[in-house]
């Protein structure tokens, strides 16, 4: 994540505007490496979080309220002693380094006003939160760094605070863009990304790649392969970037993995130059808060659904292996009718077959062409015994074909069911949805029911997703297979429209018609929702079948969510973000 010098400047500028002059009411330390300051500023209450976590170091405003330990840690008590009730004078940073200083005016033990400094170092595994007195001496820090760890820079109480080592780079404001491709600079890098990274302070690899994207140049292109045009484009893109930095023309955003905007992969203070899925924000703090909350939610959901996902994927793999084995078995008995033919032809020619013959050539009177065929024989058996042998082989092959065909159908049905469960799991966005799918798998015998689960208080069943089309029709979407059954077989009226992706695992979708004609625009929106809530959500031209609910039946003994339907039509849609957003906005506007 690019919490680089540019992001640092953006967050410092933003926090200064909002918090300068504010009063620090309370101090909390919910984690060993995290401090939260409750600040009252300009008539508003703010919650400022500073984290020195090695994976997620950061400083921003947050709405998240974590549970605090019953006994405050030592650093938290020191912070309360020195800065609680104090006034936040300003927030600063140094030379595009990821070192942010909060200057706080507070009253000491003697009643005199003094200025304390809270330094937040955002430097990966070396991140720290350090409290300094007015003489720049360290009062304490969340992480102690003694001489055994670093002989150059100790971070221990009573030591003078020393800034992290400066990097031999140019500030963005001072860089001579025309000199960027000088031989001295080019000797330190192999490609444009490395050149920008090694030359300019505050730039992260993400920043350098984004500048290259704006220039239309691959960031890893060898420098000796760049022509003059490429270099001029990089210079122009760099000038544009630096102008935005100088003028603080920031436009914070979160970059997502896909169009669902549920899985964030990065954040930044400028909109990306290349075509990616992103969402813009007015404040970087808002973007950072949502980014880390989404990441935390996804990690927790991932941990919770891990064992369920493993059961489903193992089941799918087992079914696929069984189906492959059954296919091979059916191929082995595919010539069973020939065995019956051999037996009948031997019987018909039983008196013409000499003793001890290894084969016999007879007329195949079952063939329209009346051609002769060779039949292998066991020379140690009579013609009658050879005929019986072929009849027995045919009977066994026929029985095998019937049994294996039935087993294959059952396996494919189970595979279809498990694939539908997998599609539902991939669309889960809450703990309750995962728990409901887990319970479904327990009911179906895929997961053993434990006493712990039995004693656990059951939540109220979740409801289907509800949307409103642009024409005012209510659209319902099932979130799991049990919900699909309830939605289709109990909730929907016989004249409502039912939609489902064709031969693709996904949710049941219902359009509540109330005996009205459904416009094409509503049908398109509902079909888009059906495609979006399926395993084909990232595909194009997804086929979606639709019919009235009265044409949908559930076979006896079928697993949850499994139905058959007739008299249907098919529409091809692409689950585009714009249509999904439009449907969600329709619902929100109706609620207002």
3-state secondary structure of 24: strand
For the stretch 95-122, pLDDT in tens is 899 999 999 999 887 778 999 999 999 9
Q: Mean pLDDT over all residues of the chain?
A: 89
In order of 337, 355, 435, the CA distances from 345 in angstroms are 12, 16, 63
Domain spanning 5-141, CATH architecture: Roll (2.30)
- The DSSP annotation for 31-71 comes to ETTEEEEEEEETTEEEEEEEE--SSS-EEEE----PPPPSS
> Over 90: is that where the pLDDT of 321 sits?
yes
For the stretch 168-193, pLDDT in tens is 888 998 888 888 887 766 777 889 99
CA dist., res. 560 & res. 27, Å (int)? 51
Name the nearest CA neighbour of 37 among 87, 73, 3, 71: 87
Strand-pair partners of 253: 268, 280
What pLDDT score does 242 carry?
A: 93
3-state secondary structure of 111: coil
CA dist., res. 87 & res. 39, Å (int)? 9
Least confident of 130-134, 290-294, 585-589: 585-589
3-state secondary structure of 22: coil
Mean pLDDT of 572-592: 68
- Residue entry with tokens 């005012």: 472
CA dist., res. 29 & res. 37, Å (int)? 9
3-state secondary structure of 496: coil
CA dist., res. 247 & res. 86, Å (int)? 32
What pLDDT score does 200 carry?
A: 92
Least confident of 363-367, 378-382, 530-534, 569-573: 363-367
> Over 80: is that where the pLDDT of 155 sits?
yes
Share of the chain above pLDDT 70, in %: 95
Cα-based angle 234, 278, 299 (whole degrees, multiple of 5): 120
Mean pLDDT of 308-334: 93
> Over 70: is that where the pLDDT of 457 sits?
no
Whether 114 contacts 133, CB under 8 Å? yes
* Residue 475, Cβ density class (10 Å: 0-12 exposed, 13-18 middle, ≥19 buried): buried
Structure tokens that stand for 159 in this block: 């030591």
Q: Give first-to-last CA distance, the chain, whole Å.
A: 37
> Over 60: is that where the pLDDT of 588 sits?
no
Per domain, the residue ranges of the chain are 5-141, 331-406, 465-591
Contacts (Cβ under 8 Å, ≥6 apart) of 350: 383, 384, 387
3-state secondary structure of 432: helix
Strand-pair partners of 465: 477
> Over 50: is that where the pLDDT of 591 sits?
no
Mean pLDDT of 351-376: 85
Q: Is 198 or 584 the better-scoring residue by pLDDT?
A: 198
Mean pLDDT of 250-276: 86
> Over 90: is that where the pLDDT of 502 sits?
yes
Backbone angles phi, psi at 149, to 5 degrees: -90, -45
What pLDDT score does 458 carry?
A: 58
Strand-pair partners of 474: 468, 512
pLDDT band at 1; cut points 50, 70, 90: low
* Residue 478, Cβ density class (10 Å: 0-12 exposed, 13-18 middle, ≥19 buried): buried
Mean pLDDT of 73-82: 94
Strand residues in 536-587 grouped as ranges (E)? 542-548, 552-553, 564-565, 569-573
Whether 193 contacts 209, CB under 8 Å? yes
State the pTM of this model: 0.66
For the stretch 19-68, pLDDT in tens is 999 999 999 999 999 999 999 999 999 999 999 998 889 999 999 888 89
pLDDT band at 295; cut points 50, 70, 90: confident
What pLDDT score does 455 carry?
A: 47
What pLDDT score does 431 carry?
A: 81
> Over 60: is that where the pLDDT of 255 sits?
yes
Mean pLDDT of 203-223: 92
Share of the chain above pLDDT 90, in %: 61
- DSSP code at position 491: I
> Over 60: is that where the pLDDT of 414 sits?
yes
CA dist., res. 403 & res. 167, Å (int)? 74
CA dist., res. 244 & res. 263, Å (int)? 28
Structure tokens that stand for 536 in this block: 């084909």
Q: Is 444 or 431 the better-scoring residue by pLDDT?
A: 444
What pLDDT score does 370 carry?
A: 67
* Residue 451, Cβ density class (10 Å: 0-12 exposed, 13-18 middle, ≥19 buried): exposed
CA dist., res. 80 & res. 29, Å (int)? 10
CA dist., res. 94 & res. 38, Å (int)? 25
CB atoms within 10 A of CB 371: 9
Whether 50 contacts 62, CB under 8 Å? no
Name the nearest CA neighbour of 129 among 161, 95, 87, 84: 161
- DSSP code at position 362: E
Structure tokens that stand for 508 in this block: 């049941």
Least confident of 23-32, 294-303, 332-341, 370-379: 294-303
CA dist., res. 354 & res. 342, Å (int)? 16
What pLDDT score does 372 carry?
A: 86
- DSSP code at position 431: H
pLDDT band at 592; cut points 50, 70, 90: very low
């Amino acid at each position: 994540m690019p919490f680089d010098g540019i992001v640092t400047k953006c967050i410092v500028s933003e926090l200064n505007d909002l918090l300068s002059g504010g009063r620090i009411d309370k101090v909390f330390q919910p984690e060993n490496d995290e401090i939260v300051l409750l600040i009252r500023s300009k008539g508003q209450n703010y919650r400022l979080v500073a984290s020195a976590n090695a994976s997620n170091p950061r400083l921003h405003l947050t709405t998240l309220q974590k549970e605090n330990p019953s006994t405050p840690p030592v650093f938290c008590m020191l912070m309360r002693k020195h800065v609680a009730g104090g006034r936040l004078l300003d927030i600063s940073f140094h030379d595009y380094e990821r070192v942010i200083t909060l200057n706080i005016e507070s009253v000491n033990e003697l009643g005199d006003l003094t200025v304390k400094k809270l330094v937040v170092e955002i430097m990966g595994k070396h991140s720290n939160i350090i409290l300094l007195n007015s003489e720049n001496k360290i009062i304490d820090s969340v992480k102690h760094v003694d001489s055994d760890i670093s002989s150059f820079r100790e971070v221990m109480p009573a030591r003078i605070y020393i800034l992290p080592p400066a990097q031999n780079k140019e500030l963005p404001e001072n860089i001579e863009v025309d000199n960027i491709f000088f031989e001295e600079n080019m000797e330190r890098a192999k490609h444009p990304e490395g050149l920008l990274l090694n030359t300019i302070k505050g730039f992260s690899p993400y920043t350098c790649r984004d500048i290259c994207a704006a220039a239309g140049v691959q960031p890893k292109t060898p420098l000796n392969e760049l022509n003059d045009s490429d270099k001029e484009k990089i210079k122009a893109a760099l000038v544009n970037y630096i102008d935005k930095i100088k003028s603080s023309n920031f436009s914070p955003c979160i970059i997502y993995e896909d169009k669902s905007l549920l899985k964030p992969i990065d954040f930044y203070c400028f909109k990306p130059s290349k075509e990616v899925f992103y969402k813009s924000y007015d404040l970087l703090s808002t973007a950072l808060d949502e980014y880390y909350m989404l990441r935390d939610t996804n990690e927790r959901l991932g941990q919770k659904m891990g064992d369920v996902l493993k059961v489903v994927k193992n089941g799918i793999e087992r079914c696929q292996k069984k189906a492959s084995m059954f296919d091979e078995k059916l191929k082995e008995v595919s010539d069973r009718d020939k065995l019956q033919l051999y037996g009948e032809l031997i019987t018909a020619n039983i008196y013409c077959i000499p003793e001890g013959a290894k084969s016999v050539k007879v007329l195949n009177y079952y063939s329209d062409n009346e051609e002769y065929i060779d039949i292998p024989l066991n020379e140690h058996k009579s013609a009658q015994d050879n005929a019986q042998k072929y009849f027995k082989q045919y009977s066994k092959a026929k029985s095998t074909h019937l049994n294996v065909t039935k087993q294959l159908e059952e396996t494919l049905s189970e595979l279809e069911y498990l694939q539908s469960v997998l599609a539902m799991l991939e669309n889960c966005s809450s703990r309750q949805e995962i728990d409901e799918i887990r319970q479904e798998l327990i009911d179906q015998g895929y997961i053993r029911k434990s006493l712990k689960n039995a004693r656990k208080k059951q939540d109220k069943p979740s409801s289907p997703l509800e949307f409103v089309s642009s024409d005012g029709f209510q659209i319902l979407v099932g979130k799991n297979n049990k919900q699909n059954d309830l939605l289709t077989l109990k909730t929907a009226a016989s004249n409502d429209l039912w939609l489902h992706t064709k031969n693709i695992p996904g949710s049941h979708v219902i359009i509540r018609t109330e005996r009205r004609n459904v416009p094409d625009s509503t049908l398109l929106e509902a079909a888009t929702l059906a495609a979006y809530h399926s395993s084909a959500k990232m595909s194009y031209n997804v086929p979606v079948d639709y019919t009235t609910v009265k044409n949908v039946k559930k076979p006896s003994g079928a697993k949850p969510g499994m139905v058959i339907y007739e008299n249907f039509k098919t529409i091809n849609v692409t689950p585009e973000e714009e249509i999904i957003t439009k449907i969600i906005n329709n619902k929100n506007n109706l609620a207002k």
